[in-house]
Structure 1
């Protein structure tokens, strides 16, 4: 069992100000212990964002080198949460495990660590839920052949982290949750050496909204941060909801709805003069309830409080900035799952009219010409079989546009469109962005049955706390190995870092993993062969659809390099279309 020690912190007060250029690191040098550190939990990297600090850029703790020892023996509070309205609408209930004083991070370091690479993980959860304790970063640290240090950070969520409007922009900051992550990265730069870490070899990582946040950190301040906070990005299924300007009607309407539910705005009077100040002084339970109520009213597949373009921290939409290659960091390892959309689309789309209505519901700014192109890129196939199966990605006729292990026909058209606009295309654009301007990127798809959004976590984060029956141990070992290689070197193909349990044929494929480029858009397809068929439903599927899976014994990894642009009947072309109308989506 890992030892738990304490961290002596010297963190003078500093304020992050609005700026068009990146702020300097607010953590100056100070006295610190040199004791070996193994596990440190709940380490504060910021002042509690309460009172006058609500909806302001986070600031370091105001401790002034007075010899105070901060115990680091337990996870800190989770940040206030809201339920995901896509999966269920849950009335707000106060929870003693959450608190606005939640800006903490956790560190896991091997014993006697010295100058090791660092893996900083941003948790997912749709920008409205999740915590650093929900993801098994220490599992990765303990199972790595080439040692590294793991860090998991927390950030403000829901209305506390992503409230946006002209009012918030003028009196505070929008994207407060992103500022939290940025400050945590500055903390890592200043202090990770005390844990035996190398601040020049930081991998910023995340899945889903965590990957989306990592993407936005790569875009932060227009890419002017360069590699001062991290050298590498690992992002799986980067979540890109509609990214409005902070003053657009959608975030503004949600701001007023939140203020009304919090008792700070009465629409019958129209008085808006004191809304922000009222919110700053309001009771936390009232604010948490208001955040939950408004989020539960959000459109299907979206949250009410998500990152916005603010012109400062987030200066453009991803489809535009990633194309230009103006990014922070040098190397990227980007992935997606084969069935990203199944969990997030209403399960009642049975006609072409229903498909069209769904698209217009998602993206109301699309015009008739845009909709014609959507119909061409996501065509209905007359008389398509209702037989459900996993496509091989290579067939240009029958592919993920119309068939999946879960559904077929019009429902699958909608599922795949949502998957591509929200997860798959952002992954492609991120890989493209890091293939420019002297950077290097690698791309993969997690394809074993089943491959719902987030199921890749079973392979490297020990989701479910055990090896699932539909995954070979050798598959998990191979995934952990190429991730370990990337964390250590910036490339997934250093076979000297692979675990000896990785089959030789799999290691041979991985060591020849070519980087992604516009001329050669290759991705590694992570699949399996063999096993025993069984009919079951994925425990993470909200619709409990029965599917055929293949279980051990008899499973073995089957990895192959494929053309990502032509994958699934031309995913690259479809993503190019969404990029071309990015400001209409917007995203």
Structure 2
């Protein structure tokens, strides 16, 4: 590696001396709105550029408006050695240190020795957190870079969350932007088109990737604008794509949240409500969003993407069923136990299936809390597909399976089934370390808990990183000493320690997924 880097540096010097434009990129990159100096880690072989603004801070009059891209002010010399502030999460009554409305940052990670004309493929990661929490911190590319057979550039972004990114209502439609958080993501993708070449990247080979709400984000980007990518990305990946409850922006449900939020923020007496909100103290807005969460004790996610009629003109199920999606390669999957433990975090005992007093009604109220238009009549029909005896007579296990499939597992099935190009689907199943929601991230972004992994786990993790990165660099997942993937979405790849292999999606799972997706109008998915 060291000799390779020295050779690249020597070549860059020679080319520069003789007037050639090619050069090795160092820790300082000049853009038209500022010069950014990152941090080089020779041990990891990575140059990190962190906290680069990709749009103007969405504060004051820019609240609930489309992001202003590119940044309109010249920033001068900027240190990009540390991450920027994270976006404000919804479940907080005050803005904590390190969080801010000024949070629209992108991080760029390049291999040491990258040449200015290398035109490396680009992978951009969108974090999860239910569209109400999370940040780009904690998803380092080190293991991905080490496992990849080909070099690439890894980037990650932040977007407005909760009440700042996903407030709805007809007043906001008339004087602002709906789904501002998704528009932030789109702006970051435009940033890549305009600037990634300065880092040695190829703007024509961008793959979007995310987990949970981040995977849901990539799903929405695939169907947004009627499936028009605007040339911003050429492939999409998603780990546990989230099928959110998506009422219309002017529905009673969304208008009710808007009214409650305005009142909680102290702006309900103002003639110009939005002017009041845009002038309000940010801590009041944080507290108002948290109050909305508290007022819905059976609901996990109160703020999420909505049907806005413009950027998102069709809900996900309809878009995938009628083919309104980008004709690009897709790579989506889920974990075996996606529905585990969600209900346990619900404060309302009548919707918490872990309660010793749980009944069939508890399961219904849990599901209705997430999809408020689900009727009891429909739920009774669903029970026929999920007989209690199949779950050891446990209402908790029954509710877990229903929620895990309707929100995550069946979403991956739907996306891959609808693909117009190649489709690659997986199921992560790890009995040793667990297969709950988010468990697969341990393979892709190893942490200290990876010390519990045995040899089979580590071999699985390596194969997964090779699969993921080869899709980003070449459009097809390939791993050494692991099976060849089907590009049809079914069969899907079972990612199991000591036994990676293709498996067919069962008729029973297909029937359950068809049931949930047949409810697209009722439960607004």
Category of TM-score, reference length = shorter chain? 0.7 to 0.9
1:334 Cα offset (Å):
0.6
Structure 1 residues 329, 140: CA separation in 2 closer, same or farther (over 3 Å shift)? farther
Alignment of 1:206-245 (within 5 A): 206-225=210-229, 228-245=231-248
Task: Judge conservation of contact 1:522–1:563 (CA < 8 Å) in 2.
Answer: yes
Q: Which residue of 1 aligns with 2:453?
A: 469
Alpha-carbon distance between aligned partners in 2 of 1:338 and 1:41, rounded to the nearest angstrom: 34
Counterparts in 2 of 1:76-475, with a 5 A limit? 76-83=84-91, 92-113=93-114, 114-225=118-229, 228-266=231-269, 273-328=271-326, 330-345=328-343, 346=352, 347-348=354-355, 350-367=358-375, 370-381=378-389, 402=391, 409-434=394-419, 436=420, 439-449=421-431, 450-464=434-448, 466-469=450-453, 472-475=457-460
Q: Deviations over 1:346-368 (max 9, x none)?
A: 21274334434544555453456
- Cα deviation per residue 1:435-469 (whole Å; 9 max; x = unaligned)? x3xx1110001100211100000011114464433
User: Displacement, 1:62?
Assistant: 4.2
2:475 is aligned, of 490, 502, 526, to: 490
Indicate the residue corresponding to 2:10 in structure 1. none
Once the two structures are overlaid, the 10-residue window that deviates more, 150-159 or 350-359, is 350-359
Is the partner of 2:515 in helix, strand or coil? helix
The yes-or-no answer on 1:526 pairing with 2:495 is yes
Q: 2:170 touches 2:250 (CA, 8 Å); kept in 1?
A: yes
Secondary structure class of the residue paired with 2:500? strand
Comparing both structures, which one devotes a greater share of its residues to helix? 2
**Is the Cα–Cα contact under 8 Å of residues 339 and 451 in structure 1 kept in the other structure?**
yes
Alpha-carbon distance between aligned partners in 2 of 1:368 and 1:279, rounded to the nearest angstrom: 38
CA–CA separation in structure 1 for the residues paired with 2:127 and 2:84: 15
Q: CA 1:6/1:76 → structure 2, altered by over 3 Å: closer, same or farther?
A: farther
Q: Which residue of 1 aligns with 2:487?
A: 515
Paired with 1:370 and 1:178, the residues of 2 have a C-alpha distance of: 31
In 2 relative to 1, CA 107–329 (structure 1 residues): closer, same or farther, beyond 3 Å? Answer: farther
5+ long unaligned stretches in structure 2: 6-24, 41-45, 344-351
Q: Deviations over 1:273-311 (max 9, x none)?
A: 321110011111111121122223334353221110001
Give 2:9's aligned residue.
none
Q: Distance in 2 between matches of 1:106 and 1:414?
A: 38
Deviates more, 1:109-118 or 1:474-483: 109-118
Whole-Å separation in 1 of the counterparts to 2:100 and 2:84: 9
Q: Deviations over 1:132-183 (max 9, x none)?
A: 1132234323442321110000000110000110011111011000000000
Match among 564, 574, 578 for residue 505 of structure 2? 564
TM-score by length of 1: 0.77
Q: Residues 8 and 68 of structure 1 are in contact (CA less than 8 Å); yes or no, is this contact kept in structure 2?
A: no
- Counterpart contact for 1:237–1:336, Cα < 8 Å: yes
Q: Are residues 190 and 370 of structure 1, via their aligned partners in 2, closer, same or farther at CA, if it must alter by over 3 Å?
A: same
How far 1:82 moved relative to its partner?
A: 2.4
1:59 aligns with 2:31: no
Q: Which moved more, 1:239-248 or 1:177-186?
A: 239-248
Gaps of 5+ in 1: 13-30, 84-90, 382-397, 499-503, 529-556
Matched, 1:8 2:6: no
Q: Quote the offset at 1:372 in angstroms.
A: 4.2
Partner of 2:516: 578
Shift of 1:476: 1.1
Contact 1:38 1:195 in 2 (8 A): no
Hey, what's the Cα distance between the residues in 2 that align with 1:52 and 1:467?
48
Change (3 A) 1:225 1:291: same
Partner of 2:12: none
Is the 2:212–2:438 Cα contact (8 Å) retained in structure 1? Answer: yes
Deviates more, 1:469-478 or 1:357-366: 357-366
The offset of 1:429, in angstroms, is 1.2
Q: CA RMSD in A?
A: 2.7
Distance 1:68 1:361, change over 3 A: closer
Q: What does residue 8 of structure 2 align with? A: none
Which deviates more, 66-75 or 126-135? 66-75
Give CA deviations for 1:78-122 in whole Å, capped at 9, x if unaligned: 011123xxxxxxx62431201111101000001232221111000
**Mean CA deviation greater in 214-223 or 354-363:** 354-363
Shift of 1:482: 1.0
User: C-alpha separation between the residues in 1 aligned to 2:274 and 2:451?
Assistant: 48
Q: Deviation of residue 576 (structure 1)?
A: 0.8
